[in-house]
Chains A and B, each alone.
Chain A
Amino acid sequence: MNENDKIDPANSAISVSCRVPLLALFGGAALWLVIGLALVMLASLNFHMPGMFSDHGWMTYGRMLAAGNDAILYGFAIPTALGVMLWILASLSDSELALPLVPVLAANVWHLGVLVGIAAIFMGDSTGFQWLEFPRGGSVLLFAAYMLMGISAMATFGARRKRALQPAHWFLLAALFWFPWIYTSANVFLVAWPVRGVGQAVIDWWFSNNLIFVWLTLVGLGTVFYYVPKFAGRPLHNQPLALFGFVTFILISTWCGIPQGAPVPAWFPAASTTASILLIVPVLSLLAVFVKTVCGVQTQCKGGPFCYMKFGTTAFIVSALMLIPLGCPRFGVLAQFTEYAQAQSYMQILGFFSIVICGAVYELMPRVMGMDWPFQKFVRFQHWLFMGGLAILVISLAIGGVEQEMNNYNFTSGVIFMKFATLGFLLLLLGSLLFAANIFVMTLKWKLGLAKAFIAVIKRPLDASEVKS
């Protein structure tokens, strides 16, 4: 961290304005990440011993897995994304966070919504739609919280001093706009006034693709394009190419996601095939921008936030390259129901997005709080744990997927790959514990500091002028 940034009065005003909202967002998010990974790992224990959780409905595999996945996506990924987004918008605007109390309220409402939703899944009240499992009570709270957060973000954006927009702006503003649309559409057409028949499945695929692939990519790449030039110490290479990548990405990627061979009219999967193949264009352009920006840079990353960005972006490329074949008719039909497709989702959520966003949090929180991380070494440890965990998880699931298909879906022999996946989740869980420990100890230190300052004010001897003689 650059010492000058801490002292700069304008910067410190921004930091102070972001402090409480970001702590509220990240604190809950870190907890949800730990809970989510723990649940997913416990669920995968079913493959070691099928009978171990069978006496209680709430512990059944389908509920634990859904609750864990949603805790990771809605509990961790989205609030952290919103926090980082608020901070980047405030920094780019060079102005304090507007209406700072609103995101504090929103963060609490959001985490309450996630709690309600996860409790509902455990009680068996999931909607049954993948990645949209939260029933009405939870989703209404999430939507309200998001809109509040959006008000603060837009107000901060509107108050910016420099009118020109940065590449990070494009991605983050698009993301800001994306979520309410897809989330309301999905809830209206699937939960409130459900459409008839298999149209439900199409809308659910559209929603999950737009949330997991498009939304997470927009926020993740926005963050990368904000931080990487800073780390590299040079502007983003070839801004027009980045713009081209951005526009083609949002035009194309939203059409992916309909599985091949699905029981729907053939034009749906055909549209997704076309989009998947065209996706290579934005992915390569964005990759070129990134590579040209970081190539030959002398900055050492040493497992710090810069490493997170580089690893995360690589993971995005892998995730996109894993997604493209799923859209091809031949391979897609063979692979879509195997663990390969799961490997792709985890690559996107845990590999690309979580890494990038954790890197951003590790970079920005010391500035925001004006103090260093309590456990500096954990930053590097988490990086290695995530890298190892992901490699084990994704490679074992991907190979398991191929094996499943080649072996004619022999479920007994394929279980070995799920056993490896448990190990991957375990490493990720350890990494997330380090993340949570850092955030919670930092919060605690900050609160102790506040309390000390408060006590000091009370105990301070009165000024001479105030003492009556």
Chain B
Amino acid sequence: MNSGCRIFLVSFVALGLSWGGFVIAPAIQLGTQKQTAVLNSSLTYPEQRPGEATMGLQVYRRSGCAACHTTQLQQDGVECEVIVTGMGKTPVAVSNLLSSLNLTGLSKDDAQSASDQITAKGGKTEIHIVPTGGDIARGWGSRRSVSEDFLWDYPVQLGSVRMGPDLADVGSRLGSYSWQLLHLYAPQATTKDSTMPPFRYLFVVQKVGDVPSPDALQLPAEFAPPSGYEVVPTMAAEKLAAYLLSLHANVPLHDAPFTAAAPPEPTKAKK
């Protein structure tokens, strides 16, 4: 390797290959991604977040929330379980059969054959797809995050460290607007022993005017301001809460199928 040109050539090839793979390819493959169909539904996914939530993403970025929170759920895989919805005309035969069958934690084929056996005896069944894995078991969401979840976001803040729980599905998990605001102002007021720092700078402590502000937080006594004062969220706090409520990963998709417990409600930031 005795000339500078050769060094540059080798470096060019090495970096160029990975540039093609990890910069140009995602720009083409993911950058041209479109909305996708929701499984068993005529809806498309994702919807654009409401305006306030879109602005809330910028508050999320400014406040550095991604330093402690991820917004990506993972799963190990999926299992199938067979749900018996009806016993049919020969309930005894079906229940005899059920006592000998394992109905949870099945592969797709096993679930199908179990279902076939039950329907052969006259029972009615549904096969549910259940994602498995640590994040799902912790109750942080019902399926893994997929690329579609972030289609309209800029910047995409996946986060890399979990000093606090994952937020990919927080809007479904903790869907109360006032809870979110209270938690931002005083995390320890809603979650004892929380290690999250409060975000008091997103709130204003002001003197109660002639009429108390309708937006004032209902704080427990130990976190409440001195009497005659009230804590009111700034617009930034309201946007951030709206963004958190808009975080959902609860729609079954081709990439991440699961059987939703109830049909997904349209996502709206409540005020």
Question: Would you call B128 an interface residue if the criterion is a C-beta within 8 Å of the partner chain's C-beta atoms?
Answer: no
Beta-carbon nearest neighbor of B74 in chain A: A261
Question: Would you call A91 an interface residue if the criterion is a C-beta within 8 Å of the partner chain's C-beta atoms?
Answer: no
- Please, how many angstroms separate the alpha-carbon atoms of A408 and B140 in the complex? 12
Contact B62 A124 (CB under 8 A): yes
Q: How large is the interface on A (under 10, 10 to 19, 20 to 34, 35 or more residues)?
A: 35 or more
A337 cross-chain contacts in B, Cβ below 8 A: 70, 159-162, 166
Min CB distance, B201 to chain A, in Å?
5
Min CB distance, B180 to chain A, in Å?
17
- Please, how many angstroms separate the alpha-carbon atoms of A409 and B74 in the complex? 14
Question: Would you call A47 an interface residue if the criterion is a C-beta within 8 Å of the partner chain's C-beta atoms?
Answer: yes
Beta-carbon nearest neighbor of B158 in chain A: A201
Contact A411 B149 (CB under 8 A): no
- Please, how many angstroms separate the alpha-carbon atoms of A265 and B29 in the complex? 9
Query: Per a CB cutoff under 8 Å, which of A185, A199, A336, A418 touches B29?
Result: A199
- Please, how many angstroms separate the alpha-carbon atoms of A29 and B4 in the complex? 29
Q: Take A61-B68, A185-B23, A263-B146 as given contacts and tell me if A198 and B30 are in contact as well, using a CB distance cutoff of 8 Å.
A: yes
Contact B22 A190 (CB under 8 A): no
Q: Determine, out of B7-15, B89-97, B107-115, the stretch whose residues face the partner at the interface.
A: B7-15
B15 cross-chain contacts in A, Cβ below 8 A: 177-178, 181-182, 210, 250, 254
Contact A408 B30 (CB under 8 A): no
Question: Would you call B86 an interface residue if the criterion is a C-beta within 8 Å of the partner chain's C-beta atoms?
Answer: no
Contact B7 A174 (CB under 8 A): yes
- Please, how many angstroms separate the alpha-carbon atoms of A279 and B240 in the complex? 42
- Please, how many angstroms separate the alpha-carbon atoms of A185 and B23 in the complex? 8
B145 cross-chain contacts in A, Cβ below 8 A: 263
Contact B30 A411 (CB under 8 A): no
Min CB distance, A213 to chain B, in Å?
12
**Interface code A411-434, partner B: CB below 8 Å = 1, 0 otherwise?**
110010010000000000000000
Question: Would you call A203 an interface residue if the criterion is a C-beta within 8 Å of the partner chain's C-beta atoms?
Answer: yes
B14 cross-chain contacts in A, Cβ below 8 A: 247, 250-251, 254
- Please, how many angstroms separate the alpha-carbon atoms of A200 and B22 in the complex? 10
Contact A336 B153 (CB under 8 A): no
**Interface code A281-314, partner B: CB below 8 Å = 1, 0 otherwise?**
0000000000000000000000000000000000
Q: How large is the interface on B (under 10, 10 to 19, 20 to 34, 35 or more residues)?
A: 35 or more
Question: Would you call B102 an interface residue if the criterion is a C-beta within 8 Å of the partner chain's C-beta atoms?
Answer: no
Min CB distance, B123 to chain A, in Å?
37
Residues 115 to 136 of chain A near chain B (Cβ within 8 Å): 124-130
**Interface code A181-194, partner B: CB below 8 Å = 1, 0 otherwise?**
11001000110001
Min CB distance, A142 to chain B, in Å?
19
- Please, how many angstroms separate the alpha-carbon atoms of A198 and B153 in the complex? 8
For chain A, what secondary structure do more than half of its interface residues adopt (helix, strand, loop), or is it mixed? helix
Which of B61, B156, B199 counts the most chain A CB atoms within 10 A?
Answer: B156
Residues 201 to 241 of chain A near chain B (Cβ within 8 Å): 201-203, 205-206, 210
Q: How many A-B residue pairs have CB under 8 A?
A: 225
A129 cross-chain contacts in B, Cβ below 8 A: 155
- Please, how many angstroms separate the alpha-carbon atoms of A250 and B156 in the complex? 28
**Interface code A236-271, partner B: CB below 8 Å = 1, 0 otherwise?**
000000010001001100110111011111001001
Question: Would you call A404 an interface residue if the criterion is a C-beta within 8 Å of the partner chain's C-beta atoms?
Answer: yes
Query: Per a CB cutoff under 8 Å, which of B17, B23, B33, B193 touches A197?
Result: B33
Query: Per a CB cutoff under 8 Å, which of B29, B76, B195, B201 touches A60?
Result: B201
**Interface code A322-343, partner B: CB below 8 Å = 1, 0 otherwise?**
0000000000011011110110
- Please, how many angstroms separate the alpha-carbon atoms of A252 and B165 in the complex? 34
- Please, how many angstroms separate the alpha-carbon atoms of A50 and B164 in the complex? 13
Min CB distance, A262 to chain B, in Å?
7
Contact B22 A203 (CB under 8 A): yes
B150 cross-chain contacts in A, Cβ below 8 A: 197-198, 201, 263
Q: Take A130-B160, A263-B144 as given contacts and tell me if A202 and B26 are in contact as well, using a CB distance cutoff of 8 Å.
A: yes
A459 cross-chain contacts in B, Cβ below 8 A: none
- Please, how many angstroms separate the alpha-carbon atoms of A334 and B160 in the complex? 12
- Please, how many angstroms separate the alpha-carbon atoms of A200 and B12 in the complex? 23
Question: Would you call B21 an interface residue if the criterion is a C-beta within 8 Å of the partner chain's C-beta atoms?
Answer: yes
Min CB distance, B33 to chain A, in Å?
6
B201 cross-chain contacts in A, Cβ below 8 A: 54-57, 60
Contact A202 B66 (CB under 8 A): no
Can you name 5 A-B pairs with beta carbons within 8 Å?
A173-B7, A197-B148, A199-B31, A203-B23, A259-B160
Name B's A-contacting residues (CB within 8 A): 1-4, 7-8, 10-15, 17-19, 21-23, 26-27, 29-33, 61-68, 70, 72, 74, 76, 134, 138, 144-166, 187-188, 193-202
Name A's B-contacting residues (CB within 8 A): 46-47, 50-57, 60-63, 65-66, 124-130, 157, 163-165, 169-170, 173-174, 177-178, 181-182, 185, 189-190, 194-203, 205-206, 210, 243, 247, 250-251, 254-255, 257-259, 261-265, 268, 271, 333-334, 336-339, 341-342, 404-405, 408-409, 411-412, 415, 418
Q: Which 10 A-B pairs have the closest CB atoms?
A: A62-B64, A199-B30, A124-B62, A254-B18, A128-B155, A199-B26, A206-B22, A128-B61, A62-B67, A195-B31
